[in-house]
Every structure is written in structure tokens, then in C-alpha cells.
Amino acid sequence: MAAHLSVTVNGTVREADVEPRRLLVQLIREDFDLTGTHVGCDTSQCGACTVHVDGKAVKSCTMLAVQADGSDVTTIEGMASAEGLHPLQTAFWEHHGLQCGFCTPGMIMTAAALLASNPDPTDDEIRHAIAGNFCRCTGYQNIVIAIRAAAAAMRAGSTAGAAS
């Protein structure tokens, strides 16, 4: 029994007919061909599949596609804009916040949700926020540095925006 659903993905309304058992991450990767969202553990541990559903970071391997019907979904592909990379993407690049890069999309989505609610987190708050995202390369230190740098850049950007 296929279910019809409509999801706004990165600002664009997308529709699909899916089996109820289709996972959100499969909808994103296989039906919508947005393969920046990764499947790491597939058991809700590693966070590589993290996306935003209605502004909240969720593990898309542990949510049914039908549960996202009518929702606003943002994936890593929705982070950069016409002006260029998102400040988090730039900071991960500049501060060597990735090595193999597999965890990076999920890491950035979790970090983006953190910074939306806490624009100036401490290192402890950053580490607590990304506890559900595993990186097996970096030892996390440069990821924390990158998120801290992105937070500073975004605060400076919003201040500049407010002044102009």
C-alpha cells in the first residue's frame, strides 16, 4: 500500500509515492537523489544521516518518510546559498574539521541546529550537542574548533547585517 507524501526539501516541494516502511533517509537519497545525507550505522547511533525536520535535527534513518509528510526538511545540499558556502561549511574547510568527510554532512546539520538556538556555545556545549555524531578520523578537536569559528563568523555576519 503506497502512501502519497509531499515534503518541502531545501525550499522545494517534492512529492513521492512510497511504501510506509520507507525511511526518511531513503526518501532523501534514493527518491530525491540527494546523496549528501549519508547512512553510516543505520542504527540511530552515528548521526551521519542527520537532517533538519521543521528546524530540528533528527536521524533520518530512524524516522519514516510518511512521518515527514507535510514537513520542511533541510539537508546538507540546502546549506550553501547563491552567495557561497554556509559559514559552517567554510569553517570545517578552513579548520580541517574533516578528514574522510563521511560524518561531515551530519555533523554540520547538528551544529547548525545548535547555533540556531545557541549562537555562542562553549566548547562543552558544542561537544554535548554533537554527542550523537560520530567521527572516526579527527578526534573531534578540529570539529569543535570549526563550529566555534563558524559561530563567531555567523555572529559577526548578523551584527554586520543589523548595522547595514
Partner 1 sequence: MIPAAFDYVRATSLDDALARLAADDGAKVIAGGQSILPLMKLRLARPETLVDIGRLTELQGVRRLPDGRVAVGALTTYAAMIADPILGHYGLLRDALPNIGDTQVRNRGTIGGAIAHADPASDMPAILLALDAEVVARSATAERTIPITSFFEGAFDSALRPGEIITEIRLPGGRDDVGSAYSAIEQPASGYSIAGVAAVIGARSGDRWGLCAVGVTGVGEHPYRATAVEQAIRGGASVADAATHATDGITVASDIHADREYRTHVAAVQVRRALEAAAARLG
- Give whichever of 24 and 91 is closer to partner 1, judged by the CB atom: 24
Q: How far is the CB of 149 from partner 1 (least distance, A)?
A: 20
Question: Strand locations in the chain, DSSP E?
Answer: 3-9, 12-18, 50-53, 56-59, 72-74
Using CB under 8 A as the criterion, which residues of the chain lie in contact with partner 1 when the complex forms?
1, 3, 19-21, 23, 42-45, 47, 50, 56-59, 62-64, 66-67, 69, 110, 113-114, 128-133
Cα(6)–Cα(46) distance, integer angstroms: 27
Q: How far is the CB of 59 from partner 1 (least distance, A)?
A: 5
Q: Provide CB contacts within 8 A for 113, sequence distance 6+.
A: 52, 55, 56, 57, 129
Whose CA is closest to 89, among 154, 40, 42, 44? 154
- Give whichever of 56 and 96 is closer to partner 1, judged by the CB atom: 56
Q: How far is the CB of 44 from partner 1 (least distance, A)?
A: 6
The two counts, helices (H) then strands (E), for the chain are: 5, 5
- Give whichever of 70 and 157 is closer to partner 1, judged by the CB atom: 70
Q: How far is the CB of 21 from partner 1 (least distance, A)?
A: 4
Place of cell 568527510: 101
- Give whichever of 15 and 94 is closer to partner 1, judged by the CB atom: 15
